[in-house]
Amino acid sequence: MQKTELTRFEETVLPHLDAAYNLARWLTGNEHDAEDVVQESYLRAVKFFSGFHGENARPWLLAIVRNTCYTWLRRNRMEEPATELDEGTQLIDQSSPNPESLLLAAARTELLRRALETLAPGFREIVILRDIEGMSYKDIAEIASIPVGTVMSRLARARARLQKLLSEPDLMEARA
């Protein structure tokens, strides 16, 4: 890779390192595996960067991360991984200084984390990409190599499942 190409790679792809790590963390279930997957993904991205001619590198990179992650999981794990919540990711507003509010917010975050863990990986990744990463349906469809309609239906089904789990605490307690 020539110096100008390397500079273009750094400017285009490196700003999306946090999103790549976040997706890998949710799919692998722990920090160390996510770091390995992201490193392997970036090596693949460098290798194939000359073929990238799009305007938005984020979906391109996250598709590489997703594919690398699933390949890594097939090679290294036989069962569905448990997923931990990234402590740096705030899923709910915790701006209230009231200790009771903070405790309730932490309990809701834990409940949401457990509910997300129950989703099948194909549904979980759609929720993570849309609701946590804020990606468009079109970009998610590109990343997951599925039609936009499938993204929308999976997201609707995943949200309905989450809503059911979160509205019926007995279901979550039974899974704990």
| pLDDT(91) > 80 | no
Segment 17-42 shows an average pLDDT of 92
Cα 47 to chain centroid distance, Å, stands at 23
Please give the pLDDT value at position 26.
Answer: 87
From 3.10.20.30, 3.40.50.150, 1.10.3720.10, 1.10.10.10, which CATH number describes the 99-171 domain?
Answer: 1.10.10.10
If one compares 76 and 44, the residue with the highest pLDDT of the two is 44
Looking at the chain, the domain(s) classified CATH 1.10.1740.10 span 3-76
From 1.10.1740.10, 1.10.10.10, 1.20.1250.20, 3.30.2320.20, which CATH number describes the 3-76 domain?
Answer: 1.10.1740.10
- Cβ neighbors of 164 (< 8 A, separation 6 or more) are 171
Percent of the chain scoring above 90 in pLDDT: 41
| pLDDT(92) > 60 | no
Please give the pLDDT value at position 78.
Answer: 53
Contact between residue 59 and residue 139 where contact means Cβ atoms under 8 Å apart: yes
Segment 157-170 shows an average pLDDT of 85
Give the lowest-confidence range in 25-34, 100-109, 150-159: 100-109
Residue 53 φ/ψ, nearest 5 degrees? -130, 15
Q: What is the mean pLDDT of the chain?
A: 82
Please give the pLDDT value at position 61.
Answer: 93
Looking at the chain, the domain(s) classified CATH 1.10.10.10 span 99-171
How many helices (H) and strands (E) the chain has is answered by: 9, 0
pLDDT tens-place string over residues 43-56: 999 998 888 887 78
Please give the pLDDT value at position 84.
Answer: 44
